[in-house]
Structure 1
Amino acid sequence: MGLFNKVLASIGIGAAKVDTKLHESQLSLGESITGVVEMTGGNIDQQIDDIYLSLCATYTKEVDDRKVTKHAIIEKWKIAQSFVIHAGEKKQFPFSFSLPIDTPITVGRTRVWLHTGLDIKNAIDPTDEDYIRVQPTRVMNAVFQVMENLGFRLKEAECKEAAYHVRKRLPFVQEFEFVPVSGEFRGKLDEVEIIFFPHALGECELLMQVDRRARGLTGLFAEALDLDETFIRVTIHEQHIQTLQTDLAALIRRYA
């Protein structure tokens, strides 16, 4: 019976199971992800090589003129290694990690989750997935509020594969596309795209792309060649929040 159970466990029947329980499933960037990994032994004793947690996110990639969804690992942590889980035994492994500051926030089609995996030799590795809602930093929230105050509406937010000269640590960036629906920029701009590169909780670099609306034949020619798009880099600190609306309006106005 022991050999038969071992064969069944190798294909996942009667094998050890894993279940990760998060203390909070909604977190702001920089906060701690805390919880416990619960393991339950199967019908036989099994050697576990590793328990690891991977923070993952989705992003899109252009392949043959079509968009495909890809998965990226933002961070990976090992929480246990090399132990035996006995038949029917229960074990718990508490964990606490800081949510990386460059994790994309949960908006639009973006999904962020914690993947739990066990490494078991000669067997199917048990896994578990737990989704997380990621909230922006105070600086990012301030930018969103200012764009709304200036008459912009968030049209789309998407994680996209990034060119090597734009990306930082991750293979993608999260783009926020704003369109002017009221205020002074309506009729002057097609859109403003913003990418956040947080350096710390109270500091964030913005890459802004200002897309001017075509005016006349010259404007149409510029638009056809993508010459109507202007890229701006600016770093915002928490102490700038009080004057952020005036500063961003002046910056966009300069390139409108």
Structure 2
Amino acid sequence: MVFDRLLGSMGVGGPAVDTVLDHAGTTPGGSLSGEVRLTGGRADFDIEHITLELVARVEAETEHGEHDGTFVFDRFTVGGGFRLHEGERRTVPFAVTLPWETPITELHGQPLGIALGVRTELGVAGAKDKGDLDALTVRPLPVQEAVLEALGQLGFGFKSADLEHGHIAGTGQQLPFYQEIELTPAPRYAHQASEVEVTFLAHPAGMEVVVEADKRGGLLTGGHDTLARHTVSHAQVPTTDWNTEVDSWIHRLLSSRADHIQHDAHGHGSYPHDPYGHGREGDDRHHRSGPGMGTAVAAGAAGLAVGVVGGMVAAEVVDEVGDFFEGDDDEGNGDEE
């Protein structure tokens, strides 16, 4: 991204900034590296700070319905405290560590439709200016990839992915939003569920995997949602039969009559009916989600199970993610520092 409007209102040509991310991308909890390239303006400027913001398009439910907003979920100061002389070119390299719960944006190179980016803020003479967003590519951790590939091999199909504002009760969630990956059920479970959703909450030792199913109703019962939480470690990846493990999760989830989070062998217990609380006291609406900005897949891709090394990807994602990076205007900014 390049911008030179800094201090433009004062009639002074400001510095230009171009932030270049390493093309390889990163993983949740991994290192994000690159460099900030500065070009001096028509005068000398004291650069007070260079700050990177991690920004996501997040859906939020309010009493007025769902809406999308831009959410800043982490900030890193990567430079500053120097004078940039007129016309000077300077490069500031950086390497920062992403939060463990950073959403994934692709699977085997196929985009999931998540709008995630890096924005550069430059502080000069007490003023701040923010550049346009650079798209951030985040690949899954081995555990996430193993679970998703198992679901694909079991016949589940990718439907959509989105980011929901709120907190999943009873979990160790750290960020103020979570990622949902929505799936069409495998044929063997199609009579029991209309949709399955998976959320990963990673941490240094492993992750919590929250699985929600929209169970179909029977002759005497209505449909309802049921959830389960499973704790897995990063070290389990090479020693686990993931197809069998994940299939057992789904089987137990759909066989359960309870509408609460069930724990796996790492712990037992139950939580209130609305585990996806949105932080408003007295709000007892049950969580329901659907495709939103940057998340809906093309109609022909809904229900599609595509194998890529045994995994699942969307054949087409509606091109709204690009609009996020081109038209970001800070509306709905969730930066709560």
Q: TM-score normalised to the size of structure 1?
A: 0.84
Relative distance call for 1:119 and 1:10 in structure 2 (3 A) is farther
Which residue number corresponds to residue 90 of structure 2? 91
Equivalent pair of 1:167/1:173 in contact (CA under 8 Å):
no
Which residue number corresponds to residue 210 of structure 1? 213
Which residue number corresponds to residue 243 of structure 1? 241
CA distance in 1, matches of 2:202, 2:212: 17
Q: Which structure carries more helix by proportion?
A: 1
Identity of aligned residues (%): 30
Relative distance call for 1:12 and 1:210 in structure 2 (3 A) is farther
Which residue number corresponds to residue 166 of structure 2? 162
Aligned counterpart for 2:230 among listed residues 231, 234, 248 = 234
Which residue number corresponds to residue 136 of structure 2? 132
Equivalent pair of 1:24/1:33 in contact (CA under 8 Å):
no
Runs of 5+ unmatched residues, structure 1: 1-6
SS of the counterpart of 1:49?
Answer: strand
Aligned counterpart for 1:254 among listed residues 237, 252, 255 = 252
Give 2:76's aligned amino acid.
W
Q: CA RMSD for the aligned pairs? A: 2.4
1:137-182 deviations in Å (ceiling 9; x for gaps) = 1111111111122221121211011147367222111011112142
Equivalent pair of 2:167/2:178 in contact (CA under 8 Å):
no
| Higher alpha-carbon Rg | 1
Confirm whether residue 118 of structure 1 aligns to residue 134 of structure 2: no
**Superposed displacement of residue 62, structure 1:** 2.2
- Residues 142-221 of structure 1 correspond to what in structure 2 (within 5 A)? 142-163=146-167, 165=169, 168-182=173-187, 184-200=188-204, 203-216=206-219, 218-220=220-222
Relative distance call for 1:25 and 1:73 in structure 2 (3 A) is farther
CA distance in 2, matches of 1:196, 1:90: 42
Relative distance call for 1:124 and 1:148 in structure 2 (3 A) is closer
Confirm whether residue 19 of structure 1 aligns to residue 21 of structure 2: no
Q: How many residues align?
A: 241
Higher relative contact order (CA 8 A, sep 6+): 2
SS of the counterpart of 1:125?
Answer: strand
Equivalent pair of 1:25/1:131 in contact (CA under 8 Å):
no
CA distance in 2, matches of 1:164, 1:208: 12
Relative distance call for 1:124 and 1:175 in structure 2 (3 A) is closer
CA distance in 1, matches of 2:207, 2:172: 15
- Residues 21-40 of structure 1 correspond to what in structure 2 (within 5 A)? 21-24=20-23, 26-40=25-39
Relative distance call for 1:19 and 1:90 in structure 2 (3 A) is same
Q: Which structure carries more strand by proportion?
A: 1
Equivalent pair of 1:178/1:193 in contact (CA under 8 Å):
yes
Give 2:210's aligned amino acid.
L
